[in-house]
Structure 1
Amino acid sequence: MMERLDAWGRRAAQTVALAGMALLGILDVLSGGIFVLGGDAALLVALWHVALAVAAAAVWLPTHRQGSRLLPVAAAVVVAGSLVTTFGRLLLTRHPDLPGPWDVRSVSSFWGLAESVGLLGVVFVVARRAAPGPALVLVAATGLAVSVLPLRVATTGVYPIIAMGYALLAAGSATAGMYFRMAASARERQLDTVRAEQRAEFARDLHDFIAHHVTGIVVQAQGARYVAERDPQRAVAALEQIERAGTETMTAMRRMVGVLRGQDAAPDAPLAPLAGLTELPELVENFSAAGEVGAHLHTEGHLDGLPVEVTSSAYRVVMEALTNVRQHATGARRVEVHVTRTPDWLLVRVGDDGRGQRPGRTRERPGFGLVGLTERVGALGGRLAAGPGVDGGWVVDMALPVDAGRSR
């Protein structure tokens, strides 16, 4: 749902920007253009300037991926067209006797407002999205194209001063693009760190889980060896338990190794005992005792016999949701934790009755803790979502298949 809203917001912003560019283009045409041509050439020049503005908008209106190869090419074409137009105008001004139907007479102080705005947008997008090498060259070239636009009218008087103002605007646009580029890069590095930490946590869980079951297998195997001659039936029962434990262990290994594949988990990461659904009452009780917000746990269905990675993931989701309530919820007095087991799913919902986010917090933007848990839950075939509740407050929902990954 949030992704749809973001997509609609981008489309609305693109529509508004395109409408604004169209209005500026109409203003340019109605103002008489930058120079007047004899005969039918005037219409062609007007259309050419409108085409430059539309081409510039076509460069920065779409959503470009980082390091796009198409973006530098499109920007270079637009910048080249703008510079050729400007220097062509300067050439005709200095040599009005050149052959052709040119009647170079300035009739307006407009030099192309739509094109100016379009090129400033190109500067921003190139600085934000283009690969570092092409971005450096194109930002300089586009800044030059923007700066010399006012000189299409005249090279004396106030126009050189306006050109310097345009140069400052271009520098500001490039700075803004670089700022957003670095902010996005920093957040991506943080996300990578969170994912690496989550994979390391998977490795610790895998170690603890395998150690627990393998130890049980060894003990049962030793016992079966001693009772095999005296009580064969007990030996058969022990072998069946060993088979079940081995199957469950292999299933968990396939799930977790699938997440860890291609990543280096920290071999010396500290090992901690696993916490699961049986520890939830203590977690909720400790949360209520530590502050003014009361938490209440509601369970439905049989919660026994679930895979350890399912129960540990559910525990971590509840723990992260309660932590976010403590840090972000404004005016919250009550938190409801619902854990429900259906025949096929384990469902967890944590919702508070807060009024919104605290000042300086961005609750609508998922925190890094939920980012890591989303990857963990997704790796097990489940889903995790967080957002405003229908009746207010904030809700975290998780759904995990109770036989997560058994078919893998």
Structure 2
Amino acid sequence: MDSPHFGRRSSRMRRALFRLGVVLVGAALVLALAADHRTGVYGSVLAPQALLSAAAPVLALSVGAVRRWRSDPRLVAGAGALAGAVSLGCSAWMHAAAGSPEAPVRHADAYTLFEITALIVVLALTVRYGAALPAVGASLLLALAAVLRPVAVEATENSLVLALLCTFAGCAGLTGALVARLAAADRQRHAEQVRLEQRLTFARDLHDFVAHHVTGIVVQAQGAQVVAASDPRVTVSALEQIEGAASEALRALRHMVSGLRTEAPLVPAGEAEHLRALVATFALRGGGPARFEEEGPVDRLPTAPMAAVHRVTMESLTNVRKHAPDSRHVSVMLRALPRSVEVEITNDLPVAVAGAPTAVGYGLVGLEERVTAEGGVFRAGPDGGGRWRVYARIPLESAWRDGP
């Protein structure tokens, strides 16, 4: 599957960017801590408030770093909200302590860059991994705490400039976290869409492959019941045919399930020999076989278009058994053209529906969708000569190859 969301190159790129981001964030925290230590913030009169305020985002970062805790979005949002609330409380406490008459020194440079950097990181983690509604309130507290920290002691020119820079840094972190969150949601939505498409494909394959054999079992069982009273010996051969059809149905079902497990194609190999075997095993209620004709180098046809031809033929023969069991003539024509392959299945039109509108079943609708997706042409209906005709032309090179 070629997808920008699930490609190996994209996955490696995301891991590389994540590791680079961790290194950069760690370096920024170390440099901010060194700057705070050099300015003497943690040795000043306001050291208790600064240490307590810096401890809050550190604890929140610890919560975000543990994968088990990060799996609970409400816990991540709660840790971010608690860190923002503690930081705001310490800022108010620091402002009151610095402005009191008992304070010997007013530290307008008590910016605590480490705390500001940590708060911005916690803001990004909260927006990225936190629950939606709680993360809104938590992000607001964290943004206010980061912006107001530089002016907690005193609003000077330097502190106002730093507050403006903190605003820009907070907006950048918030934007990056939102983009990452939306990208993750898009990947999840794409994964759900892929799973839904796989379920629909499996349902169609179940109808096309297993129903073909089950229908044959039902028809043979009905025929055995009719002739059992007059010639019981015939039922022995009918039971053998029923056993063979049931075994084939089980093999087809196992093939489909194994295909889902290994992501292998859910159809037999697209070769002309499989199509010949399919037509050869088909038998009408009266015991007459289907006639198979071929034109051109059919053994050289590519696998992908032949898989679609196989499906069209199988569904058409299944419909003959269901809706026209009394048909006397059934023919399958396969033509290998230079740029396409054609298949035509014809049978006697039932008398009950001759001249009357014929309803199109779900199987034919699925076939038309498949052939159209391959860029081909599909037609099914009476041909005006008392026969039912199914025609499909499929190009040898198609842009659609995701399905089976």
Q: TM-score, normalised by structure 1?
A: 0.54
- 1:88 paired to 2:119: no
The percentage of counterpart residues that share the same residue type is 34
Distance 2:178 2:17 in 1: 23
1:379 paired residue number: none
> Which of structures 1 and 2 has the bigger CA Rg?
2
Question: What are the superposed Cα offsets for residues 113-161 of structure 1, whole Å, 9 maximum, x if unpaired?
Answer: 2211111112212222222211111111111000011113521223123
Cα deviation code 1:288-343 (max 9, x no counterpart)? x99xxxxxxxxxxxxxxxxxxxxxxxxx9xxx9xxxxxxxxxxxxxxxxxxxxxxx
**Counterpart in 1 of 2:82?**
77
1:73-152 superposed matches below 5 A: 73-97=78-102, 103-106=104-107, 109=109, 111-152=111-152
Contact 1:144/1:167 (<8 A) preserved: no
Cα deviation for residue 6 of structure 1 reads 7.8
* Distance across 2 between alignment mates of 1:48 and 1:139: 20
Partner of 1:182: 182
Q: Distance in 2 between matches of 1:10 and 1:241?
A: 61
Distance (whole Å) between structure 1 residues aligned to residue 91 and residue 62 of structure 2 = 20
Equivalent in the alignment of 2:37: 29
> Are 2:216 and 1:216 equivalent residues in the alignment?
yes
Flag the 1:94–1:110 CA change in 2: closer, same or farther, 3 A.
closer
For residue 208 of structure 1, report the CA deviation from its aligned partner.
1.2
In 1, are the aligned partners of 2:127 and 2:177 still within 8 Å (CA)? yes
CA deviation string 1:206-233 (max 9, x = no partner)? 1112321122213332453466578756
2-structure distance, mates of 1:205, 1:136: 46
The two structures, once aligned, show a CA RMSD in angstroms of 4.4
Aligned position for 1:158: 158
Which segments of 5 or more consecutive residues in structure 2 lack a partner in the other structure? 1-7, 261-265, 273-299, 307-337, 340-369, 375-400
Letter in 1 for 2:269: L
Q: In structure 1, give the amino acid aligned to 2:119.
A: L
Alignment of 1:196 with 2:169, yes or no, is no
Cα distance change, pair 4–239 in 1 and its aligned pair in 2 (3 A): farther
Cα 1:134–1:184 change in 2 (3 A) is: same
TM-score, normalization by structure 2: 0.55
Determine the structure 2 residue equivalent to 1:395: none
User: 1:191 and 1:88 mapped to 2: Cα distance?
Assistant: 49
SS in 2 for 1:155: coil
CA contact (8 A) 2:70 2:76 kept: no
Pairing 1:283–2:283 present: no
Contact 2:49 2:94 (8 Å CA) reproduced: no
Counterpart of 1:271 in structure 2 is: none
Runs of 5+ consecutive residues of structure 1 not aligned to the other structure: 261-273, 291-315, 321-368, 377-408
**Is residue 167 of structure 1 aligned with residue 172 of structure 2?**
no
> 1:83 and 1:130, CA in 2 relative to 1: closer, same or farther beyond 3 A?
same
Kept after mapping to 2: 8 A contact 1:116/1:146: yes
Q: C-alpha deviations, 1:245-265, integer Å up to 9, x for none? A: 3365468679979x99xxxxx
Residue 21 of structure 1: how far off its partner (Å): 2.4
